[in-house]
Amino acid sequence: MTSQVEIYNMALGNIGISETVQDLQERSKARITCSRFWEIARDNALGQFPWSFATKFATLALVGTPPRGWAYQYQYPNDCLKALYLTPAGRIPRPMTIDERPNFRTAFSDNGQVILTNEEAAELAYVVRITDEGRYPPLFVVALSWQLSALIAMPMSAQTSIVQTVGANYVQAWQIAAAADLNESAEDILKVVPDYVIGRNA
């Protein structure tokens, strides 16, 4: 199991910083800088791909009155980082193919963030915010450490060349982790990977 402190130290090592963090309460520059960017790095890394370990299915709760053109308005889950696809009631959940249009859209209303759709009793598949680092697969941990490195590189090193290198390393680590995640799924890659990701790898 990997801890938050260990990911901090991986991120620091990625940019050549020998200083390490011992605990989350210390007042060192390394800990303060890593903590400042931790949540956005974690949420970015989680939200950029439909990771199998972070995908959750939930029946949505109706809220408020939908605007014209939509039959239903559902509450956006509090722990949702990215809505993936809606499954109509009574059907087996499956991801959309690239050629399919989403059957919902997200919006803001007096009830906060909502999901608008014409699907009744819909179930949403979404990427959930996971704060327990022990649930992260090893390859995702590596990618997350590089994402954090990309955010702390400038305040910790102030070297532009390092910032550029770290960004490229994050993309590579992300691709490796995503490919490994797909290999554990029975779904066709074209059903679960957005076209902009496929284009990036072409």
pTM over 0.85: no
Residue 191, pLDDT above cutoff 90: no
Q: For 30-63, write each residue's pLDDT tens digit.
A: 999 999 999 999 999 999 999 999 999 999 999 9
Q: Calculate helix-pair angle for 4-14, 29-47, nearest 10 degrees.
A: 100
- Name, in order, each residue with C-beta under 8 angstroms of 129's C-beta and a sequence gap of 6 or more: 42, 43, 46, 79, 80, 81
Question: In sequence order, what E strands does 5-120 have?
Answer: 55-59, 72-75, 80-87, 104-109, 112-117
Q: For 116-172, write each residue's pLDDT tens digit.
A: 998 888 889 999 999 999 999 999 999 999 999 999 999 998 777 788 899 899 999
State whether residue 38 is helix, strand or coil.
helix
pLDDT band at 97 (very low <50, low <70, confident <90, very high): low
| DSSP code, position 118 | S
CA 80 to chain centre: 9
For tokens 């941990």, the residue is 141
